[in-house]
Structure 1
Amino acid sequence: MRYVIIGAGAIGGSLGGRLHQGGHEVVLVARGEHGRVLREDGLTLVTPEGRARLRVPVVSGPAEIGLAPDDVLVLAVKTQDTVAALDAWRGRPVLGGGTAGERLPVLCAQNGVANEVMALRRFRRVYGAFVLLPATYLTPGEIVAPGAPLTGLLVLGRHPSGIDDTAERIAADLEASRFRAVTVPDLPRWKYLKLLGNLGNAIEAVCGEPSPELHVRARAEADHVLRAAGIDRADDADIAELRGALVETREIEGEQVSRNSSWQSIRRGGSVETDYLNGEIVVMGRTLGVPTPVNEALQDAANESARLGRAPGELSLDELVARIAAHERLTVGG
């Protein structure tokens, strides 16, 4: 199996780098300055073991690669970029006949619960993953992955349900490449648990620091919404058991402390995927008539920071709390 990593940022670069080191065929898809550095100098993968310069093949898009029947497309872009990426690849021809959308599996290694649905509109074979992988991408060509002794944990399955030979083969390749990887028949339960964990991303992205108290409040709202919707989720204890002491974030001398993906997006001056994290809870709450003022305030603040080009920390926690209170008053007032 060859892995075509669409989006070679923190997650995609870590997956591609480790799979390459594990002896698997990998192609990274990256554009701009990041793509240029990857082509000219290779991927620099920084882990607790040290710095490795990896000469992984790189393309800027689907027109630069011929697809084969044993390829796996790994989607690792932010959710706001998912539709464009899927549309770019779905119609590409595959050796022997047919298109990527008809013949190839696509694995969504992404946050949120919307990507697999978007993919299923365009691809017949869709897989998803709960991804727990501390990694940072701030410098073109360089990915810092401080997880140890294993780089990350992935819980894999077919969407919307089931396990098949492809899922098992992907998991086996990841297991052989410094990851803990397990397959489950009920993937959405695990994706909703990951969604709850990502609701705090906006806090750190906006304020520059986490707030466990605000995260708890955002999760409480979300749990209320999920119960109202009749949506089941896995438990934190399930992930803790799988993770154990296998994936711990280690400090790497001279490197930035690992921050969440939304913080990295704001830090790089890009768009942020909060509409598909806190915003997922907001839209469900509005559909069901369940108030979600905390998640609404976090969604608005993160989008504002991205739109205005604010750096993490330019809005204080006190200011964010005041915004949440204003949303709560608006909710009470109808």
Structure 2
Amino acid sequence: MRVTIIGSGGVGGYFGARLAQAGNDVCFVARGAHLEALQKKGLILKSIQGDVQIRQARFVSNLADAGPADLILLAVKAWQVAELAPQIAQLMGEETLVLPLQNGVLATEELTAALPADQVLSGLCRIISYVEGPGVIRHTAVEPSIVYGFRDPALNTKAARLKTLFEQAGIKARCSEHIEADLWKKFIAICVSAYLALTRSTYGELRSCKETRAIMQALFEEVAMVGRRSGVLIEEDFVGKTMALIDTFPPETTASLTRDIWEGKPSELDYQNGAVLRLADKLGVDVPVNRFIYHSLLLMERRARKEL
């Protein structure tokens, strides 16, 4: 299958490498020193599930150079999705599927503003990985998996081929009949990333201190409440399951948003805790923990975006 990876960082780099390793025609879209290294040496993946170096792939800087694709895997930061949507349209044929893997719950809506709704999936992934250096992806924890599906589950037959594609590449995959609920369940968990940034802590440190653990749970409860008020089916015991999930993460690990804020880079803060605030305000409910965390980081975010 012809696969285009837009955003060749920790997520796109990992999944693209596994798809290329399985023999698919993969094109990676990247930029800067990362792109230069990819073009010279290929993509080097260092993974707890086995290392690989990918040379038999294309590495380009412009979407226009990627050419037509059967699957477009969108792995850029959340704030880049809306801007890229019109450009993605130029790569699509009648059977092309677009699968966004952003954190948050807004990507599909932003894509379908410019692309056919019956070709845009909703999706999420689970993996802890990052760019270790130009051309090098490091996968440190979590069995990599992808969950995907159409908002209208009647369209899921169009995506049946993806399960085979991913599983042949050693990627655990599931086509969901309730993808909105799946997105929200991941969204609940990732919203703690900003609290990690604010406390300058790892998952292990945050969960081991009773005071910060209690605030983490309160944060999750707020997001779950907003999801339920938005009409999403979230089980009453789900926050407890999320806390148990966080307890399984390697103690030294952090999240990509956390690292971006620490490094003074633009982050997905507005698409995570910021989105919780906007949705809560529309619903007329209070989310004081998320509001405090978001507002505490807002100046750093604006500084990173050169808005101050």
TM over 0.5: yes
Which amino acid letter does the alignment assign opposite residue 227 of structure 1? R
Q: For residues 261 and 206 of structure 1, what CA distance do their matches in structure 2 show?
A: 14
Q: 1:305 aligned to 300, 303, 306, which one?
A: 300
226-235 or 270-279, which moves further after superposition? Answer: 226-235
Hey, what does 2:167 align to over in structure 1? 175
Would you say the 8 A contact 1:101–1:122 is kept in 2? no
User: Taking structure 1 as reference, are residues 297 and 139 closer, same or farther at Cα in structure 2, changes over 3 Å only?
Assistant: farther
Hey, what does 2:129 align to over in structure 1? 135
User: Taking structure 1 as reference, are residues 50 and 188 closer, same or farther at Cα in structure 2, changes over 3 Å only?
Assistant: closer
- Residue 265 (1) aligns with residue 260 (2): yes
217-226 or 160-169, which moves further after superposition? Answer: 160-169
Which amino acid letter does the alignment assign opposite residue 141 of structure 1? G
Q: For residues 17 and 292 of structure 2, what CA distance do their matches in structure 1 show?
A: 37
Q: For residues 301 and 220 of structure 1, what CA distance do their matches in structure 2 show?
A: 20
Gaps of 5+ in 2: 207-212
- Residue 283 (1) aligns with residue 282 (2): no
User: Taking structure 1 as reference, are residues 264 and 137 closer, same or farther at Cα in structure 2, changes over 3 Å only?
Assistant: farther
Q: For residues 103 and 226 of structure 1, what CA distance do their matches in structure 2 show?
A: 32
Would you say the 8 A contact 1:48–1:147 is kept in 2? yes
Q: For residues 290 and 144 of structure 1, what CA distance do their matches in structure 2 show?
A: 40
Q: Deviations over 1:237-293 (max 9, x none)?
A: 7xx8xxx9xxx8679xxxxx5421202323453211111111221111111111112
Identity %: 27
User: Taking structure 1 as reference, are residues 205 and 158 closer, same or farther at Cα in structure 2, changes over 3 Å only?
Assistant: same
User: Taking structure 1 as reference, are residues 103 and 24 closer, same or farther at Cα in structure 2, changes over 3 Å only?
Assistant: closer
* 2:234 partner SS: coil
Deviation at 1:176, TM superposition (A): 1.6
Question: Which residues of 2 match residues 190-229 of structure 1 at below 5 A?
Answer: 190-209=182-201, 210=203, 211=206, 212-229=213-230
Would you say the 8 A contact 1:272–1:302 is kept in 2? no
Would you say the 8 A contact 2:28–2:59 is kept in 1? yes
User: Taking structure 1 as reference, are residues 47 and 291 closer, same or farther at Cα in structure 2, changes over 3 Å only?
Assistant: same
Q: 1:292 aligned to 284, 287, 291, which one?
A: 287
Would you say the 8 A contact 2:72–2:98 is kept in 1? yes
Q: For residues 115 and 76 of structure 1, what CA distance do their matches in structure 2 show?
A: 11
Question: What is the root-mean-square deviation in Å for CA atoms of aligned residues?
Answer: 2.7
Q: For residues 215 and 192 of structure 1, what CA distance do their matches in structure 2 show?
A: 17
Q: Deviations over 1:277-327 (max 9, x none)?
A: 112211111111111121122223334333345xxxxxxxxxxxxxxxxxx
Q: For residues 249 and 15 of structure 1, what CA distance do their matches in structure 2 show?
A: 20
TM-score normalised by structure 2 residue count = 0.84
* 2:5 partner SS: strand
Deviation at 1:160, TM superposition (A): 4.3
Deviation at 1:78, TM superposition (A): 1.0
Structure 1 segments (4+ residues) deviating >6 Å: 234-237, 248-251
Hey, what does 2:81 align to over in structure 1? 82
Would you say the 8 A contact 1:146–1:249 is kept in 2? no
Which amino acid letter does the alignment assign opposite residue 153 of structure 1? S
Deviation at 1:224, TM superposition (A): 2.3
Deviation at 1:181, TM superposition (A): 0.5
User: Taking structure 1 as reference, are residues 218 and 89 closer, same or farther at Cα in structure 2, changes over 3 Å only?
Assistant: same
Hey, what does 1:64 align to over in structure 2? 65
257-266 or 33-42, which moves further after superposition? Answer: 257-266
Would you say the 8 A contact 1:19–1:26 is kept in 2? yes
Q: For residues 138 and 301 of structure 2, what CA distance do their matches in structure 1 show?
A: 23
Which amino acid letter does the alignment assign opposite residue 134 of structure 2? P
